[in-house]
Structure 1
Amino acid sequence: MPRPLIGVVLAATGRLAPLGAPLDFVARALSWPVDVLVRDSASTPEGARGAALSLADAGVRVVVTLGGTQTLPAVARACAEREVPCVSTTLPWQVFAAAVGEPGWAFHFSWGLDDIAAVFADLWEHLGPATVVGCLWNDGPQGAALRRWFRPVAEARGHRLVDLPYREHGGQLPDLAGLDVVTSAATASDLAAAVHRARLVTCSRWLTYPFSVARHGLDRVATIVYWTPDRGPDLAAAYEDATGSPWLQPLGVAHALFEVACRAVAGSDSRAGAAEVLTGTRMATLAGVLDWTAGPAPGVARIPLAGGQWRAGDRPELVVVDNRRAPAVPVGGELIYSSAKAYR
């Protein structure tokens, strides 16, 4: 009897390729009770859609994918067209829900932009109860999402957010004088100039990965933490041994994608049956407990975030500095920030 077939859409080429590597490792190097087909999105929404349709035509029972802002929704929408369940992660759930619409065949697990705002506000408040925060947000989808779902949560905590003019990829940074805190979704190269001009910098997006930190010598940038090797030391070690690269946070959620997909196909004999299993799934995974029966939106399961901070070096280290929203993640050190007030 043939084994169930699971499809994987990942970025093997293009600008998102560093994020595709952990999922590729989990799909190809680990042992699963299924057969696996992998397709390259080429880091574009058109490529992602084509990859998903190709997998649907090949007869996969479930498709799994992770990240980016445009590629992930393209996969989910293509799967819905062909009535193939899609399990995805690493995109804030509000962005997923807005882009995919009525979920139906789409099952997503991630954090929200409100969760990022809460964790960042926790970190800012190490400096004081209310701060003026300069926001380096672009005018693209990331900036629009942050203004819509991040800003209200941070401002409700008493912080004043100042939207700074910023053009991504090499635009001149605005004057940061007088700002104790800068928060951003900027690229690492753009943010490098800002880290020495504020007491604390918080950033998500590419600054959650060590290669961005190492390439630009960034230090003390605070970010979100959604997975560490404490949840899977053998997985992290195997990845590092096989690739020669440091573990990445997507490694743990990539493993969880396969855990969920394998349960869905084991408990069904059709695509519709797999979707039914996913709708009622609550299970422990390497990324924590995923519960689609109690999500913040249909088709969504939430995972918690801790606050982390990079310690720069030849091999940057991500240290958990605040775990009040994810107490299962052990704290590894204290938040480091400049004791001096920003220049005014």
Structure 2
Amino acid sequence: MSKSTMSVPVKRRVFLGATSIIALIAMAPAAMAQTQTIKIGYVTPQTGPLAAFAEADDFVIKQVQDTLANSLETAGGPVNVEIIVRDSQSNPNRAAEVARQLIVSDEVQLIVVASTPETTNPVSAQCEIEGIPCISTAAPWQPWFIERQANPGDPATWESFDYTYHFFWGLEDVIATYQGMWNQLDTNKQVGGLFPNDADGNAWGNPEVGLPPALKAGGYTITDPGRYQNLSDDFTAQIDAFKAANADIVTGVVIPPDLTTFWTQANQQGYKPKIASIAKAILFPVAVEGLGPIANNLSTEVWWSASHPFTSSLNGQSAGELAGGYSEATGRPWTQPVGFIHALFEVAVDSIKRAEDPFDPDALAEAIAATNLDTIVGHIEFGAEGLPPVVAANVSKTPLVGGQWRYQDDGSFELVIVENAAHPEIPLGGTMEAIE
């Protein structure tokens, strides 16, 4: 991962581009007056089991395109911006494949990617190999950073990356947020853990650095029945284990279809804990709407909401205005990725504007590394305090609070923020309630 190992292919790519530009100038001086185009590739799970993460893509991309319609002023003059979208189909192999297509065939200068390690990790890895700058989000930093190390279990061997950067929260934040919600209610502190056999599940369920040791330190006991395969159709074994442990609390990191299956079967089999705090699966209105009334008071982490007190550096919108604009344009409730997909392009545009030469991958990567920006999801700054230096070089943490879905009389759901101890600047909307 060292800079020296990447310098040969990167310099070769830049040299060939420079040669082509010189040739064009020699053949057609009038071309000097033409505005060059920066190409941004965006990899996203628009289809498959992770498609809920991409629900806001069309809205955000159109808004960004409209904002940049008259070109973008950079240190080297105006450039046009073209956004090329590729669907990962919720498949890690496909994500890596389309990332390579964007680099080799589409010749993008920058890739942005979001939505779970199954999407962010293969794309980031491909960019690091090819020496192309990449900005990612919507995956906890541990699976994004640690799972890409040669020796994930030995922090002394971890190395920073040269071209890939990530902003989001970490497992330490979700653990604190969940415990902040749980401590508001009287429980037996017995927790059932739902961890799939994927990058997220293995990171969250890691007995050394995941949820189990952190929950134990907080006085909780976790029952972990072991890893299951995504898109399982039978969770009886997990439900029986949680019943046997008399678990008042269920937690885990689950894709939306699996949460629907698990929670429906749990209700059918007479298992109803006081608390169910589930990451990933119930971030979105569509997921809880599919469950109906039995989803009332399910709780989850809240990365972003209409009440977050942040403003876009791209167009000046507040979080409330961005969320309202999405609902007005789509007729749908706002969804958390609206803010983070928007912020991806905020960081991308800001980095392009500041880069000494945005067509040079090294210069653009250096501009990303120097990001110090207030965005719609909060402040993003790489190299800041709060993480080990080797991690902080590539990772910027964003705020996290906790919320519950409240069933409304009209059949819709409202996400109410009920825990904000780490970020009191984000207003509460209520207090934690037990599942009835």
Q: TM-score, normalised by structure 1?
A: 0.92
Q: Cα gap change, 1:110/1:335 in structure 2, threshold over 3 Å: closer, same or farther? A: same
In structure 1, C-alpha distance between the alignment counterparts of 2:121 and 2:361, rounded to whole Å: 19
**What is the match of residue 192 of structure 1?**
264
Q: CA deviation at 1:225?
A: 0.5
**What is the match of residue 342 of structure 1?**
none
Contact 1:164 1:174 in 2 (8 A): no
In structure 2, C-alpha distance between the alignment counterparts of 1:11 and 1:303, rounded to whole Å: 22
Runs of 4+ in 1 over 6 A off after TM superposition: none
In structure 1, C-alpha distance between the alignment counterparts of 2:341 and 2:435, rounded to whole Å: 36
Contact 2:188 2:247 in 1 (8 A): no
User: Is the aligned partner of 1:316 residue 2:413?
Assistant: yes
1:21-170 to structure 2, matched below 5 A, reads 21-30=55-64, 31-32=67-68, 33=72, 34-57=81-104, 58-101=106-149, 102-128=160-186, 131-148=189-206, 149-164=210-225, 167=228, 169-170=232-233
Contact 2:204 2:252 in 1 (8 A): no
Amino acid at match of 1:299: N
Amino acid at match of 1:288: G
Q: Cα gap change, 1:285/1:124 in structure 2, threshold over 3 Å: closer, same or farther? A: same
User: Is the aligned partner of 1:280 residue 2:370?
Assistant: yes
In structure 2, C-alpha distance between the alignment counterparts of 1:192 and 1:115, rounded to whole Å: 28
**Equivalent residue for 2:330, pick from 216, 237, 243:** 243
Q: Cα gap change, 1:182/1:16 in structure 2, threshold over 3 Å: closer, same or farther? A: closer
The unaligned stretches of length 5 or more in structure 1 are: 340-344
**What is the match of residue 271 of structure 1?**
361
Percent identity of equivalent pairs:
30
In structure 2, C-alpha distance between the alignment counterparts of 1:108 and 1:244, rounded to whole Å: 31
Contact 1:259 1:285 in 2 (8 A): yes
Q: CA deviation at 1:55?
A: 1.8
Higher radius of gyration, 1 or 2:
2
The unaligned stretches of length 5 or more in structure 2 are: 1-34, 73-80, 150-159, 309-318
The 3-state SS of whatever aligns with 1:126 is coil
In structure 2, C-alpha distance between the alignment counterparts of 1:71 and 1:181, rounded to whole Å: 29
Please list the CA deviations of residues 228-280 of structure 1 after superposition, one character each: whole Å capped at 9, or x if unmatched.
01241221122222222221101101111001000111112222111101112
The 3-state SS of whatever aligns with 2:95 is helix
Contact 1:10 1:24 in 2 (8 A): no
Aligned Cα RMSD in Å? 2.0
In structure 2, C-alpha distance between the alignment counterparts of 1:151 and 1:329, rounded to whole Å: 28
Contact 2:113 2:119 in 1 (8 A): no
Q: CA deviation at 1:165?
A: 5.7
**What is the match of residue 279 of structure 2?**
204
Equivalences, count: 339
The 3-state SS of whatever aligns with 1:266 is helix
**Equivalent residue for 2:344, pick from 237, 241, 257:** 257
Contact 1:56 1:84 in 2 (8 A): yes
Q: Which has the higher helix share?
A: 2
User: Is the aligned partner of 1:325 residue 2:422?
Assistant: yes
Q: CA deviation at 1:338?
A: 5.2
In structure 2, C-alpha distance between the alignment counterparts of 1:290 and 1:211, rounded to whole Å: 29
User: Is the aligned partner of 1:300 residue 2:395?
Assistant: yes
**What is the match of residue 239 of structure 2?**
174
Q: CA deviation at 1:200?
A: 1.2
In structure 1, C-alpha distance between the alignment counterparts of 2:299 and 2:139, rounded to whole Å: 19
Q: TM-score, normalised by structure 2?
A: 0.73
